[in-house]
């Protein structure tokens, strides 16, 4: 029986380089498109940011926003019963599955944490220009990064011991932290849980599937754990993230950095899978 391949990918530092370009990954992207292989964006970015990226990529697949907080399903997909009982909300262009916490609750928790003496500052405390200066985004793109629903990126000034105390403080409030380019406060959602649900949806659509995922940061660990072929992409200093290496045994190591590494790893794996 032929198996449909589905590829999940992180964006920053993986499919996108420091200048937010996917140019070096174009050969592999064209291969995916030519073979009608779905590419599912699974990132800490907001819905608005992902929609902009999807337009540039001509991507019409499902996508996962804000570290697994939301799953957006274009209405071309017919949804049957999910394995887990999850409520699906219908919007103008999508069916939406909300897994993350309410953004307003996360903002309140971060304010309380700051009042308790921790030096934290979230995107909601910053102007678009400040977010742009912090991330390297254009100001117009930074405005999209501030349109958050399920997850709040923040910066923290403190030593290692203070960081551990901060994480405990966040847990005591019923929330969690994860780390990509920045720290994030979030609810019980994660990329792994979202990927599992999306896999179920694609299996309903195609039948038997085989899954691939690419990431470079600690917040990608759960995504990589939940696919058949996990790939870790080198960071800009040439290293692999230690959390991924230790927590995802057997992961495939991409040879290159960022989108160049993404390109090489996808092409090499597809040569094997498509035989």
Residues assigned a catalytic role: 10
Spatial separation of the C-alpha atoms in residues 90 and 49, rounded to whole Å: 20
In the chain, where do the E strands start and end? 4-9, 39-42, 63-65, 70-74, 88-90, 94-98, 120-122, 151-156, 176-179, 183-186, 209-215, 229-234, 252-257
| CA distances to 43, 73, 83 from 87, in Å | 22, 13, 12
Residue with token string 């997909």? 77
Helix pair 26-34, 258-273: axis angle to 10 deg: 30
- Token output for 2: 């032929």
- Sign of the Cα torsion 94, 190, 183, 25 reads negative
Count other Cβ atoms within 10 Å, centred on residue 35. Answer: 11
Q: What is residue 168's DSSP assignment? A: H
- On whether the CB atoms of residues 162 and 44 are closer than 8 A, the answer is no
Q: Which among 66, 142, 146, 151 has a CA at the least distance from the CA of 103?
A: 151
């Amino acid at each position: 029986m032929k198996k449909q391949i589905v590829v999940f990918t992180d964006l920053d530092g993986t499919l996108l380089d420091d200048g937010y370009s996917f140019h070096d990954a174009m050969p592999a992207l064209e291969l995916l498109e030519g073979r009608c292989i779905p590419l599912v964006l699974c990132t800490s970015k907001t819905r608005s940011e992902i929609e902009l990226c999807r337009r540039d990529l001509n991507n019409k697949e499902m996508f996962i926003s804000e570290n697994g907080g939301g799953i957006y399903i274009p209405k071309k997909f017919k949804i049957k019963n999910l394995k887990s009982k999850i409520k699906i909300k219908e919007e103008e262009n999508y069916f939406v599955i909300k897994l993350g916490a309410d953004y307003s609750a996360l903002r309140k928790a971060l304010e309380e944490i700051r009042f308790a003496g921790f030096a934290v500052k979230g995107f909601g405390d910053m102007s678009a220009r400040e977010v742009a200066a912090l991330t390297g985004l254009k100001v117009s793109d930074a405005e999209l990064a501030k349109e958050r629903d399920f997850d709040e990126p923040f910066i923290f000034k403190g030593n290692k011991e203070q960081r551990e105390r901060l994480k405990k403080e966040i847990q005591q409030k019923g929330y969690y932290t994860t780390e990509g380019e920045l720290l994030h406060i979030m609810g019980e959602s994660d990329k792994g849980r979202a990927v599992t649900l999306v896999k179920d949806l694609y299996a309903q659509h195609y039948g038997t599937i085989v899954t691939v995922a690419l990431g470079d940061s600690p917040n990608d660990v759960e995504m990589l754990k939940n696919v058949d072929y996990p790939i870790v992409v080198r960071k800009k200093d040439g290293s692999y993230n230690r959390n991924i290496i230790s927590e995802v045994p057997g992961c495939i190591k991409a040879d290159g950095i960022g989108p160049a590494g993404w390109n090489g790893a996808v092409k090499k794996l597809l040569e094997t899978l498509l035989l």
